[in-house]
Structure 1
Amino acid sequence: MISHAKIPFVVFETEPENAQRARDWNFGIHWSVPLLQDLMPPELFAKLASTRVDPHRPVQPSETLRFLNGATGIEIGAAFIPHLYRVQRSKLRALLAEGIPIQYDKAISTISYTEDGSTVAAHFEDGTTVSGTILIGADGTRSKVRNLLLGEEKAALDRLEYAALWVQAKYTAEQVKYLRSGHPLFLACCHPLGYFGWLGTHSAPDQDVPEEWVMNCYISYKEPIAEQEKCKKWPNEGNLGEVKALAELCFAEPFKSAFGWLGDEQEVWYSPLTQWDPSLPEHQWDNHSGRVTLAGDAAHPMTYQRGQGANFAIKDSLELVNHIGSFLDSETKGRKEAVRVYEQETKERAGEEVRLSYQNTEMVHVWEKVLQSPIMKHGLNPTS
């Protein structure tokens, strides 16, 4: 923790301890790496490299995310990313959990507030209640805390007319070598027909056994919400057939092979895109005199084609530590003011990125606009 911030806390996790999710994710931490270093004890930050998707490859001063023409395989642009850590979600969570108090299997059901304005209480589905000074809802894209603060209608995710077919798969050693030949971490493509493709490494546990590695790839595209409702009901074989046919008919290498080599039992996830802008007037929540607030994906779910979600969550964490620490250390600055300042900065900063990420998602699916998209113009850097 930051040396000056002596903040007592407890983390309540909805999932049971050691829960195994059907899907694990990976994401890039880049401009927020120095912020994360400020937040983590030095001995834990020293282990950050171990959480990477390929921990055997040395950390590079910078990486290049190449963008290909999805139909021809010819490079059309690139984004340069300094001090990138491409990490597995499960590994990073395990590292961050070391040495901190976590209570597992604690699903929140309601929130209550004392009349004197001093404390907030979280009531859990198991019948227990815990009271404290501030409750921070950092419970993900479909946040229950956001729901409790705003009601289901206002807290509901904004459904977008884009969807993706996701795959995490193993291949033969030779196939893995080929799929990583364009870049060992990731490769993207924009297709003249309006598709966006991604191919990357998800897990490389043993550098000598590439057939046990997991590759991560998806194809996203514009799709009306009415059509999404139909596609959500498809069986897995329908999704698998769709993504394999799409790659075979439309895509150049290595995306064609990444999907074409999938086995008959390979699981494919259909995933409509969503967002939620915390800066909109209708999305302003009552923080009950600074007793409850939101952070991370609970506060600002955004599309992922510009790779900003985790970095903005880390920025939220640093801001919370600084503002909460400031009121604990001050005789004049109160909790209400500290949380107000945090929320004002977070809503403005993250709201802008939610909108920019959506603009980027739109543009990378329109061939004539790809080269003017935010990721091509700004890379993965924040714009403010």
Structure 2
Amino acid sequence: METKPDQTHDLHVLIAGAGSAGLLVAQVLKRLNIACTVFEQDASPYERPRDWNFGIYWAQSRLDECLSEDMRARVVDVQTDPSHRPSEDTVMPIYNGQTGEHMKDLPAPFSIRLHRRRWLEMLSDGVNIKFGKRLKSVTTEADIVTITFEDGTQAKGNLLIGAEGAHSPTREYLLGIQEAALLPSPVVASVSICKVSREAAQKLRALHSRYVITFHPKGIFTFMSKEWLWMMMQTWRSDADTGLIGRGKEPLKLEKWHEMGRDFGPPFKEIFETIEPSSTIWHNRLGYWPTKPWDSKGLVTLIGDAAHPMTFHRGQGLNYAITDTAELLQQLNGMTEHSGAELAAAVKRYEADLFPRGREGVIASNENTNAVHDWETMMESSLFKEGLQRAESSQTT
């Protein structure tokens, strides 16, 4: 069965991926009265068992550009703590994981910490989403792009936006599998959404109401964030599992976290000791992809993690996806008419900004990830010295 462009509109945009970037773009297109359909490979919004939270640190004004006035007012309600009101003096505290000593408060003015599922539910409002649609192939002809799904159905439009995240099939179409492949980071990550003892939770909340970062002299980075459950994350350098990049496998057991936790001081040691035994730990190697130019004549493009998958230690990913969307909005607003040619020209202008900006962000984030896993260089890392501002690479190429 084939899905054709909506005949009541002069343009139809296809979006692959119903994550933050894909749904935010859909909201922008809805405001511009450009028809769009979002295709998501998962069978439902609740298929993935893991949920998490993430922050907006420097892209708040760009987010305002993308959302309607009504939806802007709803953002505070999808925070991990809806009672929190962003302020100029908001900080993220850093502690020495080994001693428990407070090292520094990172400035995070007006930052917002979002609960992922509630955030995506908000962005889904009024958006046409087709679930269970895994992309198989892409073809282009004149000003039409046709996508075929693994279930045999097709959809046609004037533009395909790949927003499937780091493992983007659209990026593979644009550049080929080899050129689109993620580069392995020397750092691995383990994440759990878990319960800890009441006493340990109270001690951790006494340090900060929402989150805590620890650096450990042995090169371990830890992030702990509170909702009704705790999001616990640890990263460190490892030569094991070198081929495992971002696939959410579970070779790491809770006993390993207990073992690592023995080197932590209070209250962090108690956190690891009291994690609920049934907790699932997702473990993977981090990957990244310094953005490379592509040329699809304005018919196929990328946004968010599909365009610039980066490591997460400075919390840049969502902020870059928001910036992508705001920049695309600016170019779409510059169209003189709703035609395929004008749309393609707007996409090319968007890409001219995206290519160098995305590459710089990926490289800078990777440099910072490497730095925070070495105690001496950590003190000179961008995260420790500058906080959660936009990443800038020391490299020029």
Work out the CA distance in 1 between the residues paired with 2:249 and 2:233: 17
Answer whether contact 1:121 1:132 (CA < 8 A) is retained: yes
Report SS of the residue matched to 1:245.
Answer: helix
Counterpart of 2:21 in structure 1 is none
Q: 1:331 Cα shift?
A: 8.9
The answer as to 2:372 corresponding to 1:364 is yes
Q: 1:93 aligns with which of 120, 124, 131?
A: 120
| CA separation of 1:228 and 1:121: change in aligned 2, threshold 3 A | closer
Report SS of the residue matched to 1:372.
Answer: coil
The answer as to 2:14 corresponding to 1:9 is no
| CA separation of 1:344 and 1:378: change in aligned 2, threshold 3 A | farther
Q: 1:143 Cα shift?
A: 0.8
Counterpart of 2:351 in structure 1 is 343
Q: 1:244 aligns with which of 243, 252, 258?
A: 258
Answer whether contact 1:30 1:84 (CA < 8 A) is retained: yes
Q: 1:286 aligns with which of 281, 288, 295?
A: 295
The residue correspondences of 1:1-384 to structure 2 (distance < 5 A) are 5-114=32-141, 117-201=142-226, 203=227, 213-224=228-239, 239-248=253-262, 250-278=263-291, 283-287=292-296, 289-327=297-335, 329=337, 334-383=342-391
Answer whether contact 1:13 1:107 (CA < 8 A) is retained: yes
Deviates more, 1:89-98 or 1:8-17: 8-17
Answer whether contact 2:242 2:285 (CA < 8 A) is retained: no
Q: 1:100 Cα shift?
A: 1.7
Return the TM-score normalized by structure 1: 0.88
Answer whether contact 2:364 2:391 (CA < 8 A) is retained: no
Work out the CA distance in 2 between the residues paired with 1:307 and 1:29: 8
Answer whether contact 1:179 1:254 (CA < 8 A) is retained: yes
The count of corresponding residues between Structure 1 and Structure 2 is 363
| CA separation of 1:225 and 1:350: change in aligned 2, threshold 3 A | farther
Note the residue ranges of structure 2 that are not aligned, 5 or more in a row: 1-26, 393-397
| CA separation of 1:277 and 1:49: change in aligned 2, threshold 3 A | same
Answer whether contact 1:64 1:80 (CA < 8 A) is retained: yes
Answer whether contact 1:111 1:123 (CA < 8 A) is retained: yes
Answer whether contact 1:137 1:145 (CA < 8 A) is retained: yes
AA of the residue aligned to 2:60: V
Work out the CA distance in 2 between the residues paired with 1:308 and 1:148: 25
Q: 1:17 Cα shift?
A: 2.9
Answer whether contact 2:249 2:284 (CA < 8 A) is retained: no
Q: 1:187 Cα shift?
A: 0.8
Return the TM-score normalized by structure 2: 0.85
Note the residue ranges of structure 1 that are not aligned, 5 or more in a row: 204-212
Report SS of the residue matched to 2:232.
Answer: strand
Answer whether contact 1:158 1:276 (CA < 8 A) is retained: yes
AA of the residue aligned to 2:294: W
| CA separation of 1:368 and 1:104: change in aligned 2, threshold 3 A | same
Report SS of the residue matched to 2:230.
Answer: strand
Work out the CA distance in 2 between the residues paired with 1:64 and 1:234: 33
1:226-263 deviations in Å (ceiling 9; x for gaps): 5676xx99966x52111111111x11123212211113
Deviates more, 1:151-160 or 1:318-327: 318-327
Report SS of the residue matched to 2:90.
Answer: strand
AA of the residue aligned to 1:217: M
Q: 1:367 Cα shift?
A: 0.8
Answer whether contact 1:188 1:199 (CA < 8 A) is retained: yes
Work out the CA distance in 1 between the residues paired with 2:220 and 2:201: 23
AA of the residue aligned to 1:224: D
AA of the residue aligned to 1:275: Y
Work out the CA distance in 2 between the residues paired with 1:373 and 1:367: 10
| CA separation of 1:67 and 1:96: change in aligned 2, threshold 3 A | same
Q: 1:376 Cα shift?
A: 2.1
| CA separation of 1:235 and 1:129: change in aligned 2, threshold 3 A | closer
Answer whether contact 1:277 1:354 (CA < 8 A) is retained: yes
Report SS of the residue matched to 1:130.
Answer: strand
| CA separation of 1:315 and 1:56: change in aligned 2, threshold 3 A | same
Q: 1:20 Cα shift?
A: 3.1
Q: 1:7 Cα shift?
A: 2.4
| CA separation of 1:233 and 1:90: change in aligned 2, threshold 3 A | closer
Q: 1:332 Cα shift?
A: 12
Work out the CA distance in 2 between the residues paired with 1:234 and 1:339: 36
Work out the CA distance in 2 between the residues paired with 1:233 and 1:24: 12
| CA separation of 1:104 and 1:193: change in aligned 2, threshold 3 A | same
Work out the CA distance in 2 between the residues paired with 1:65 and 1:43: 29
Answer whether contact 1:196 1:221 (CA < 8 A) is retained: yes
Answer whether contact 2:212 2:223 (CA < 8 A) is retained: yes
Report SS of the residue matched to 2:36.
Answer: coil
Q: 1:318 Cα shift?
A: 1.2
Answer whether contact 2:158 2:340 (CA < 8 A) is retained: no
Q: How well do the aligned residues superpose, as a CA RMSD in angstroms?
A: 2.4
